[in-house]
Structure 1
Amino acid sequence: MLNLEKIADIYSYNDYDTEELMHIQSIKKAKDWLLKTDKEKQDYRKSYLQMLTVHFQDEQDLEYIKQAVLVTDRILTFLQKATYYQNLSDNISSSEEPFYRIYNMLWCEKEYLLYFTSIRAIKVHVPIDLFKPLIIKIEDTKKYKEYELDRLFKEYNKMLSLFMSK
């Protein structure tokens, strides 16, 4: 694999084409981002959000970014609490199945939310309509309340609304 840091240094030192350097730095930034843990990505997002709050003017976009950071926190908390569903594969009971499917879809959403350095680059979310039939099956259960899924999905729905209106 190429040492992009060293290549960028050589380009800078030798004053090579800045557009070429920009592509090298862009790939390096993307690769560095993908190597970060979910927590590191979320911590970066929170500090970036603080900067945006001070310097950013587009209120609607800022509101979506705030909501995406909040939802990411909620999803990370859920995934941490519900690790049981991470390893299920066969013989999933009918009572576990909705939680298992929600776990997997929220994991996918977390991946979408944390895939890019910039929240603005996100172009897709898991549709709430995928969750609705599953929520109906479990909304009266103890686990649903324990995992605070009502709160998570209320905030998720708000994030999706903001996303659709931007």
Structure 2
Amino acid sequence: MTDWKSNLERLGLTLPKVAVPVAAYVPAVRSGSFVYTSGQLPFVDGELIAVGKAGAEVSVEQAKAAARICALNALAAVHEAVGLDAVVRIVKVVGFVASAPGFTDQPIVINGASELLGEVFGEFGAHARSAVGVAELPRNTPVEVELIAEVG
């Protein structure tokens, strides 16, 4: 396995506190050998780092950075549920991008999440993925990311 702690440190990142759910759900659930996270928003210290739609108020670069934060928040949820030492691999990522009409760069935006997972877990961070454009997301955020991690 990769040393996720050293990789986060090398990236200048630390796991944040898990965001408090804004509705009737939990941040992550373990079922058998998998941990499923709820959709994570790009919160940093309780504040969204971007609002608006990708391709309008939010640039591709800003949305990609937000997706990276979403993935970090998802890792924090996994860590709280089982500890990241238990992660065998990241299996699946689903990213939602609030998109302006005609915006089609959802895959580039969600690369922010995918690239972070690769940087943290190396080959074990490679995953299946969906990048979906949507009309609206909670709290007017431009991106939301959820993941499935296999754990041992």
| TM-score (ref. length: structure 1) | 0.32
Question: RCO greater where, 1 or 2, for CA within 8 Å and sep 6 or more?
Answer: 2
Per the normalisation by structure 2, the TM-score is: 0.34
Which one has a larger percent helix, Structure 1 or Structure 2? 1
